[in-house]
Amino acid sequence: MKMCIACGMPMTQISEYPLYDISKNYCKYCANPDGSMMSFEQKLSILTANYIQTYKMDNNTAKYTAYTILKKLPAWRRNQ
Ligand SMILES: [Zn+2]
């Protein structure tokens, strides 16, 4: 079983891969419509919005939390 390198989600089903391509090591939630992987900035803004909505965090806290979590994942460790 693979884990998404960009968000950490375990990928257990073919439907969780971008465009059903199991050679990819990121999930469909981290992919653009064309199947390429989203950028760090894209993931950061999506996750930030998610935290604001789900946990009622303020923008700075949400962004900081999202940043901290993303930086632990293999896709983003070396960037930024
Ligand atoms: Zn993912």
4-20 pLDDT, tens digit each: 999 999 999 999 999 99
- 27, 16 Cβ separation under 8 angstroms: yes
pLDDT band at 79 (very low <50, low <70, confident <90, very high): low
pLDDT tens string 19-34: 999 999 999 999 999 9
- pLDDT at residue 80 is higher than 70: no
Q: Map out the domains of the chain as residue ranges.
A: 2-71
Q: How confident is the model at residue 36, as a pLDDT?
A: 98
Bridge-partner residues for 2, per DSSP? 11
Ligand 1 centroid from CA 59, angstroms: 22
Cα 56 to middle of ligand 1, angstroms: 22
pLDDT in tens, 39-67: 999 999 999 999 999 999 999 999 999 99
